[in-house]
Amino acid sequence: MKPSLYVFAVLVICGCSPSDKPEGFPKLYSATVTIKQADKELADATVRLVPLDASNTWATGAVTDQQGKAVMRTHGRYSGAPAGKYKVCVLKIVTEGAMTYSDIEKGENPNLKDSPGETYHVVATDYDDPEKTPFELEIASGKNAFEFSIPEAVKIVVPYGGVR
């Protein structure tokens, strides 16, 4: 087999070809969303773009980095977002008092009968509700860099067995 044919065959088998996108997949535009909470970058928050156009069924979102910046991805693996208007939903949940993988690696007993910790929303839940979030944006060709500010952190207990 010729080298170029071999490379093509590997790409097709691995699903790395340009045709691996789902049928009807839209053109994507580079987009970033930066989230600040009380004027500080909010790391490890989930940002979802909820389309205002019901015909746009492509899931778009990302997790913020240490600078509070989320680089949008669509369908979980493609960089960018389809053109359109969106509600911006923000969610950040933390757990205090739970054992971490590093605790287990240090030899801590993962089978302790103590509480696994408490889980909290640190962003008010209205920001994760498309009907209540005040944040909106529009993705188009060109630069799509947006910044949103959230007030001080909250501490809302997540009920056992549920996120809301």
Q: What is the 3-state secondary structure (H, E, C) of 63-126?
A: ECCCCCEEECEECCCEECEECEEEEEEEECEEEECCCCHHHHHCCCCCCCCCCCCEEEECCCHH
- Please, what is the average pLDDT of the chain? 82
What is the number of structural domains in the chain?
A: 1
Residue 162 lies in a domain: no
- 80 vs 12, more confident: 80
Residue-level pLDDT at 15? 45
Task: Show Cβ contacts of residue 112 under 8 Å, excluding neighbours closer than 6 positions.
Answer: 99
- 161 vs 74, more confident: 74
Q: How does residue 3 score in pLDDT terms, banded at 50, 70 and 90?
A: very low
- The CATH number covering residue 49 comes to 2.60.40.1120
Residue-level pLDDT at 44? 96
Task: Show Cβ contacts of residue 83 under 8 Å, excluding neighbours closer than 6 positions.
Answer: 26, 27, 29, 139, 140, 141
What DSSP state is assigned to residue 25? P
Residue 9 lies in a domain: no
Domain limits for position 38: 25-92+125-151
Residue-level pLDDT at 163? 52
Provide the pairing of β-strand 136-139 with 84-91.
antiparallel
At 95-130, the pLDDT tens digits run 887 655 555 556 555 555 455 678 889 999 999 999
Q: List the structure tokens of 77.
A: 């693996």
Residue 113 lies in a domain: no
C-beta separation of 52 from 84 below 8 A: yes
Residue 158 lies in a domain: no
Whether 28 shows a pLDDT value over 50: the answer reads yes
Q: Give residue 108's identity as a one-letter amino acid code.
A: E
Residue 118 lies in a domain: no
Flag the least confident range among 6-15, 43-52, 152-161.
6-15
The model's pTM is: 0.76
* Rg of the chain, C-alpha, whole Å: 20
At 51-103, the pLDDT tens digits run 999 999 999 999 999 999 999 999 989 999 999 999 999 999 988 876 555 55
What DSSP state is assigned to residue 144? -
